[in-house]
Amino acid sequence: MTTDAAPPALQSPAATDSLPLPPGPRLPLPVQSYLFGARRHRWLPRVRRRYGDIVHLRIFPERNLVQLADVEHIREVFSGPVSTFHAGEGNVVLKPIMGEHSVLITDEDVHLRARKLLMPAFHGAALRGYRELVTELATAEVERWPAGRPFRSHDRMHALTLEIILRVVFGVTDGPRLDELRTLLRKIVAVGPLDVLGWHKPALQRFGPWRRNAATARRADELIYAEIADRRRADDLDDRTDVLSRLLTVPAEDDRLSDAELRDQLVTLLLAGHETTATALAWSFHELARDPARLDTATRAADDGDEKYLEAVAKEAMRLHPVISEVARRLTRDVEIGGYRIPAGFTVMPSISLVQGDPAHHPEPAQFRPERFLDGGPATGSWFPFGGGVRRCLGAGFSLLEATIVLREVLSRYRLAPDRLSPEPARARNITLVPARGARIVITPRNKV
Domain coordinates in residue numbering, the chain: 8-445
> pTM for the complete prediction?
0.91
d(CA 152, CA 111): 37
Q: Is 25 exposed, middle or buried (0-12, 13-18, 19+ CB in 10 A)?
A: middle
Mean pLDDT, residues 116-131: 89
Reported as a single tens digit per residue, the pLDDT across 302-311 is 999 999 999 9
Reported as a single tens digit per residue, the pLDDT across 353-379 is 999 999 999 999 999 999 999 988 899
Residues in Cβ contact with 278 at an 8 Å cutoff, skipping those fewer than 6 apart: 154, 157, 158, 160, 161, 162
d(CA 350, CA 346): 13
Residues in Cβ contact with 229 at an 8 Å cutoff, skipping those fewer than 6 apart: 259
- Identify the pLDDT of residue 288: 98
- Identify the pLDDT of residue 199: 79
Q: What is the DSSP string of 158-217?
A: HHHHHHHHHHHHHS---SHHHHHHHHHHHHHHT--HHHHHHHH-GGGGGSHHHHHHHHHH
d(CA 22, CA 65): 10
Mean pLDDT of the chain: 91
Mean pLDDT, residues 229-244: 92
Pairing outcome for strands 85-86 and 329-331: antiparallel
Residues in Cβ contact with 76 at an 8 Å cutoff, skipping those fewer than 6 apart: 7, 9, 10, 337
pLDDT over 70, % of the chain? 96
Q: What's 422's DSSP letter?
A: S
Query: Would you place residue 448 in the very low, low, confident or very high pLDDT band (cuts 50, 70, 90)?
Result: low
Beta-ladder partners of 68: 54, 350
Topology of domain 8-445 in CATH is Cytochrome p450 (1.10.630)
Number of neighbouring beta carbons within 10 Å of residue 430 = 21
How far apart, in Å, are the Cα atoms of 271 and each of 166, 220, 290? 10, 12, 30
pLDDT over 90, % of the chain? 75
- Identify the pLDDT of residue 5: 41
Check pLDDT > 50 for residue 8.
Answer: no
| 262-273 CB burial, b ≥16 within 10 A, e <16 | bbbbbbbbbbbb
Check pLDDT > 50 for residue 389.
Answer: yes
Mean pLDDT, residues 308-337: 96
Q: Is 225 exposed, middle or buried (0-12, 13-18, 19+ CB in 10 A)?
A: middle
- State yes or no: cis peptide before 251, omega within 30 of 0: no
d(CA 277, CA 265): 19
- Identify the pLDDT of residue 263: 95
| 55-82 CB burial, b ≥16 within 10 A, e <16 | bbbbbbebebbbbbbbbebbbbbbebbb
Mean pLDDT, residues 169-190: 87
Instruction: Supply φ then ψ for residue 18, to 5 degrees.
Output: -85, -5
Check pLDDT > 50 for residue 178.
Answer: yes
Q: What is the DSSP string of 327-357?
A: --EEESS-EEETTEEE-TT-EEEEBHHHHHT
- Identify the pLDDT of residue 127: 87
Residues in Cβ contact with 108 at an 8 Å cutoff, skipping those fewer than 6 apart: 2, 82, 83, 86
CA 436: distance to chain centroid? 18
